[in-house]
Amino acid sequence: MSGATQSIGFGRFSAWLRRHLSRPGASLLSLASGGLALTLLWAIADWLVFSAVPPLADPSACVEAAGACWPFWAEKSRFILFGTYPFDEQWRPMLVSLLLIGLSIATGHMAVSGRWLNMKLTAGLWLAGIAASFALMGGGILGLVPVDATRWNGLPILLILSTIALALALPVGVLLALARYQTRHRLLHRAAGAYVEIMRGVPMVTLLFVGVFVLPLTLPKGTAIDPIIAVLIALVFFHAAYFAEDVRSGLMALPAGQHEAASSLGLGFWQTARLVLLPQAIERAMPALVNSTIGAYKDTSLVVILGLHDLSATARMAFSDVAWGNQALEAYVFVGVWFLISCSYLSWIGRRLAARAAKGRNRSA
């Protein structure tokens, strides 16, 4: 039995070898790619482990070390995550972060599995999560110590601005796409088109400045708006324009017979859109929607120019400490790993949704 197994294994190896030797160019490229990958993996392992300073070592050893400074991560990781939020109250931003991450993961998995909860319940959970996030971060209720918004730093502010803005921008974008897609109400069609073109033609930085410095001037005298709320409003209206074009591309890709068949059944425009057009359009627009979501998520870091300290800003503050001035690489690796993991998860969701949509189309065919 062992000899037969070895013979089968040798036969497979011989077939693999003949197949690759018949294409020397592809073989050389594969070898070069494999060698480059091994070189990069060794460099990363050497920097992280073999040449690194252990977490419990004296921080002064980091000055001459050729590898990573683990004592920096051990001491500064909490500061990078939560910034200047009061140390004794940091369980609150930690809870907010876990809440928003949990809601995002649950929503993504429900979309992938196709087992959606009632839409009203899902929206209610998000609204409750948003309210709980602001209540926990701000305090002043239920015996929680009030914390000024200027001390909301790090991961919580990134998640609040990104997840909440995206959760609110998508339905606004869908409505804009429908308004621009329909042609019965020409004024609404043109207004939606003008809005989308203006938002896409204005840099996000400009819109953020308008939200923080101009929007408060339009409010009644004596009325103030928190900078975080102003930035959130600006992000929602900015990203909604991009989502609108993504969804509209899916609508335009649908055969004209879809709309005509729904009309022949006596369905109105909103019924047609909700039951017939949007499910198919969003499936077709899924790659573009995922791409816009990832881009919007990463662009949230631009809020640092307004004095809001997200994860990248707290990382810079961490190595600004005189004792850790040489650990800029460690700080940005910390942030880079977070964005790599979260963006990879979003990409995975997009791939699963695209695969499920393609499988459904094949079955119907």
Same-domain status, 232 and 262: yes
Q: CB under 8 Å, gap of 24 or more: what pairs does 254-262 form?
A: 254/280, 254/281, 254/284
Which residue type sits at 34?
Answer: G
Are the C-beta atoms of residues 129 and 100 closer than 8 Å to each other?
yes
Minimum mean pLDDT among 158-167, 275-284, 287-296: which range?
Answer: 275-284
pLDDT tens-digit profile of 7-50? 555 567 666 656 655 566 666 777 777 788 888 999 889 888 88
Q: What is the mean pLDDT of residues 53-73?
A: 85
Is 60 a domain residue? no
- Band (pLDDT 50/70/90 cuts) for residue 4 is low
Same-domain status, 291 and 188: yes
| Per-residue pLDDT at 117 exceeds 60 | no
Percent of the residues in the chain that have a pLDDT greater than 70, as a whole number: 87
For residue 340, what are the contacts with CB-CB under 8 A and spacing of at least 6?
none
Is 141 a domain residue? yes
pTM of the model: 0.81
Q: What is the mean pLDDT of residues 193-220?
A: 83
Cα angle 126, 297, 331 (rounded to 5 degrees) comes to: 115
Q: What is the mean pLDDT of residues 183-209?
A: 87
Mean of all residue pLDDT scores within the chain: 83
| Per-residue pLDDT at 362 exceeds 90 | no
Query: What does the pLDDT read at residue 114?
Result: 64
Same-domain status, 136 and 29: no
Q: Where are the alpha helices (DSSP H) in the chain?
A: 2-21, 24-45, 70-82, 91-113, 119-138, 155-181, 186-201, 204-209, 227-252, 256-264, 269-272, 278-284, 286-299, 311-319, 328-364
- Band (pLDDT 50/70/90 cuts) for residue 269 is confident
For residue 219, what are the contacts with CB-CB under 8 A and spacing of at least 6?
225
Residue span of the structural domain in which 39 resides: 2-50
Cα angle 133, 139, 144 (rounded to 5 degrees) comes to: 120
Query: Could you write out the DSSP letters of every residue in 133-199?
Result: HHHHHH--STTPPP--GGG--SHHHHHHHHHHHHHHHHHHHHHHHHHHH--SSHHHHHHHHHHHHHH
Query: What does the pLDDT read at residue 279?
Result: 81
Is 26 a domain residue? yes
Same-domain status, 29 and 144: no
Residue with tokens 């909490």: 78
Q: What is the mean pLDDT of residues 135-160?
A: 89
Rounded to whole angstroms, the Cα distance separating 166 from 104 reads 11
Torsion sign over Cα 351, 354, 360, 365: negative
Q: What is the mean pLDDT of residues 202-226?
A: 79
pLDDT tens-digit profile of 65-104? 888 889 999 889 999 999 889 989 999 999 999 999 998 8
- Tokens representing residue 5 in the block: 């197994």
Q: What is the mean pLDDT of residues 267-273?
A: 74
Rounded to whole angstroms, the Cα distance separating 142 from 92 reads 13
Is 113 a domain residue? yes
Query: What does the pLDDT read at residue 51?
Result: 86
User: Any idea what the CATH number is for the domain that residue 311 is in?
Assistant: 1.10.3720.10
- Band (pLDDT 50/70/90 cuts) for residue 1 is very low
Same-domain status, 179 and 238: yes
Is 57 a domain residue? no
| Per-residue pLDDT at 59 exceeds 70 | yes
Is 56 a domain residue? no
Q: What is the mean pLDDT of residues 323-333?
A: 86
Q: What is the mean pLDDT of residues 128-154?
A: 89
Same-domain status, 129 and 188: yes
- The total of structural domains in the chain comes to 2
Is 65 a domain residue? no
Rounded to whole angstroms, the Cα distance separating 326 from 320 reads 9
Same-domain status, 31 and 119: no
| Per-residue pLDDT at 365 exceeds 60 | no
Are the C-beta atoms of residues 86 and 147 closer than 8 Å to each other?
yes
Same-domain status, 25 and 96: no
Same-domain status, 244 and 319: yes
Cα angle 170, 236, 144 (rounded to 5 degrees) comes to: 110
Same-domain status, 36 and 82: no
For residue 136, what are the contacts with CB-CB under 8 A and spacing of at least 6?
92, 93, 95, 96, 144
pLDDT tens-digit profile of 223-259? 777 788 888 888 998 999 999 999 988 888 877 777 6
Is 262 a domain residue? yes
Which residue type sits at 223?
Answer: T
Q: What is the mean pLDDT of residues 338-358?
A: 85
**Residues paired with residue 69 on neighbouring β-strands, in sequence order:** 53
Same-domain status, 83 and 17: no
Same-domain status, 132 and 22: no
